[in-house]
Amino acid sequence: MKRLQPIIVFLLSCFAVGSAFSDDYLIVGTQANGGGAIYEVNGGSLAFIENLPVVENVPWGARATYYHEANDTLYFAEGDSPAEWSVPLGDLLNPAITASSTRIRGFDRRGGGEQHPDIFIRGPQDGEIYAHTRGGGRLWHYNPITDTATDVGVHTAATDSKIYQVVYGDTLYTHNGSNGFRAWDQVEDGSWSAPYNPRISGVLDSHATAVRQSDGTYFSGRSGTIAYGSFVTGGASPGTLPRLDPISPLNSMDVSGDGTKLWVAGFQPHISRTTNYLGYFDISGNLASARFTLVVSPGDTLPGLTGNDWRISIVSIPPSGIGPFLRGDSNSDSTFDISDPITILRFLFLGGEALGCRAAADANGDGGIDITDAIYSLNFLFLGGEPLPAPTRCALSELKEDMALGCENTACE
């Protein structure tokens, strides 16, 4: 401590003068007799993990998939047959476990098209599970504990809503055949508004839709052309992505968890309706010049699939813990040097700027931020002191002390 006092005094005298996802999974279901499968997305490549377990010999694949984080469960809605089921995602991802499905019976007692949910969604206000059913175009609340579905009283009178639906903010947008696109809002008490015309863009009447949650950019298309617009600004669609021809039409699309890729699935009609393709647009930059990368060429297939007419869904698992950050990097510039203990001392004694990542400023990892963190840093930098606790490179931390301090602003990626 005595050896550091001159350094600290000198530094204080100088002062007086002067949001990533960890994993993406692609669910691919087929329209008939081919089942479905889950794949890990490694950048732009796919690694087969497991087939989706089916129930009671139902041959149809999962054409729409929803991941409910609260119970770590995937919910599948086929859309054309009375087959809805769920499976724990952790079981699918664990090679030591044989995953099993649970048939959802809560909709079996509904009449006509009401027993065919097209899609499951998370209630944007209450986090509960909801399903939209084709035919009558109704919205239902699903209770997984009691396996019951309750009509929430808002109806679109749709004849063919299919699976072309997205949720952004507090609003569910759904394609309703001849009725065009309709929207519902969920309010704070969990109730839903009556359906209404969102008056955003007629382009949303297309076959397949997706939304980038980070900024409200929507994508919609059918025959090789994908238009894009904004749920935030509304109005007419400002443009289209480069055409997919001759690879068209497309059947479904979804946005990766980090918002940089728009995955697209369809078939190549110039060959046959069974020649599926799969790829993605790079939507990280200028959408008008987005580049398309073909991952599965027409005529090829994916491991685990035998059917055609692929329908895709992205499951994005946010990382556990906080960060990423670098221990000791108190000024959040992704490096650890003399400027970091200076930042701590300025913050503690001279009213310096608030720390963007308090967990990183906790250099000694004791769960607090005080002068001992500056001393610990200086000891390591200049006097051969003990190394700083992990993370000593840009990484996440699951330590409860770091979680309590928080990390809102970091240059780490």
Q: What is the 3-state secondary structure (H, E, C) of 90-150?
A: HHHHCCCCCCCCEECCCCCCCCHHHHCEEEEEECCCCCCEEEEECCCCEEEEEECCCCEEE
Q: Are residues 268 and 369 in the same domain?
A: no
- Does 413 fall in a domain? no
Of 254, 315, 311, 259, the closest CA to residue 67 belongs to 315
Distances (CA, A) of 250 to 20, 243, 266, 276, 326: 28, 11, 4, 9, 43
Q: What is the CATH number of the domain that holds 400?
A: 1.10.1330.10
- Does 335 fall in a domain? yes
Q: Are residues 188 and 66 in the same domain?
A: yes
Q: Are residues 221 and 354 in the same domain?
A: no
- Which amino acid would we find at residue 204? L
Q: Are residues 184 and 301 in the same domain?
A: yes
pLDDT the model gives residue 16? 39
Q: Are residues 29 and 14 in the same domain?
A: no
Give the end of a domain, one of 317, 348, 365: 317
pLDDT the model gives residue 19? 36
Q: Are residues 243 and 351 in the same domain?
A: no
Q: Are residues 305 and 346 in the same domain?
A: no
Quote the tokens at residue 98: 């044989």
pLDDT digits (tens, 9 = 90+) for 45-94: 899 999 888 776 665 567 778 899 888 999 987 655 667 888 999 999 99
Q: Are residues 121 and 222 in the same domain?
A: yes
pLDDT in tens, the chain (413 residues): 545 554 444 444 444 333 345 589 999 988 766 678 999 998 888 999 998 887 766 655 677 788 998 889 999 876 556 678 889 999 999 988 888 888 888 877 655 545 577 788 899 999 999 988 766 677 889 999 999 888 887 776 555 555 567 889 999 887 765 556 678 899 989 999 988 877 776 655 666 889 999 899 989 887 778 889 888 887 666 788 998 877 777 888 999 998 999 999 988 877 777 788 999 999 999 999 999 999 999 888 899 888 888 889 999 887 777 888 999 999 999 899 999 999 999 999 998 888 989 999 999 999 999 999 999 999 999 999 999 998 888 888 888 888 888 888 877 86
Number of domains in the chain: 2
- Does 410 fall in a domain? no
Give the end of a domain, one of 273, 300, 317: 317
pLDDT the model gives residue 199? 75
Q: Are residues 71 and 140 in the same domain?
A: yes
Q: Are residues 300 and 347 in the same domain?
A: no
Query: Rounded to 5 degrees, what are φ and ψ at 200?
Result: -100, -60
- Does 63 fall in a domain? yes
- Does 411 fall in a domain? no
pLDDT the model gives residue 49? 93
Q: Are residues 340 and 287 in the same domain?
A: no
Q: Are residues 82 and 174 in the same domain?
A: yes
pLDDT the model gives residue 236? 67
Give the end of a domain, one of 291, 317, 343: 317
Query: CB neighbours (10 Å) of residue 370?
Result: 12
Q: What is the CATH number of the domain that holds 307?
A: 2.130.10.10
Which pTM does this prediction carry? 0.75
Cβ(361)–Cβ(370) under 8 Å?
A: no
pLDDT the model gives residue 301? 87
- Does 171 fall in a domain? yes
> Domain range holding 244?
23-317
pLDDT the model gives residue 191? 93
Q: CA angle 375-378-384, nearest 5°?
A: 115
pLDDT the model gives residue 65? 84
